[in-house]
Amino acid sequence: MEKTIDEIDFQKENGLIPVIVQDINTNEVLTLAYANKESLELTQKTGNSWFWSRSRKKLWMKGEESGNVQKVKKILVDCDFDAIIYLVDPSGPACHTGQKNCFHNTLSNIFT
């Protein structure tokens, strides 16, 4: 079911919603970032992934410094309208460390 940007609930977390970024070709989860309404509008307008940087307190487009842009092919909205997935075609690593994705660290196993 298609939704509009005005149906997204940006009010639960101070105007931000979590964005899961997933490779459209492999289904690999690349990163988790945050968007406000303006960054989501820029993503829809430009086709590139835009976010709100909580640390820098500003808008940023993935790849604006590294060149590793993410072309957004589809945006999925969860059932509560407060989280989204960007399905992207990445042009390089997603992580600022140079790793393919941001989930390359392992938490100590507490189940052994």
Single pTM value for the model:
0.89
> In whole angstroms, what is the distance from residue 20 CA to residue 33 CA?
7
The angle at the Cα of 61, spanning 95 to 44, to the nearest 5 degrees, equals 120
Q: In this predicted structure, what is the pLDDT of residue 88?
A: 97
- Least confident range from 40-44, 59-63, 94-98: namely 94-98
> In whole angstroms, what is the distance from residue 40 CA to residue 20 CA?
13
Q: In this predicted structure, what is the pLDDT of residue 75?
A: 97
Q: In this predicted structure, what is the pLDDT of residue 9?
A: 86
pLDDT digits (tens, 9 = 90+) for 39-54: 999 999 999 999 999 9
Domains of the chain, each with CATH number or no CATH: 5-90 (3.10.20.810)
Listed in order, strand segments (DSSP E) in 1-112 are 17-23, 29-35, 50-53, 58-61, 70-77, 84-90
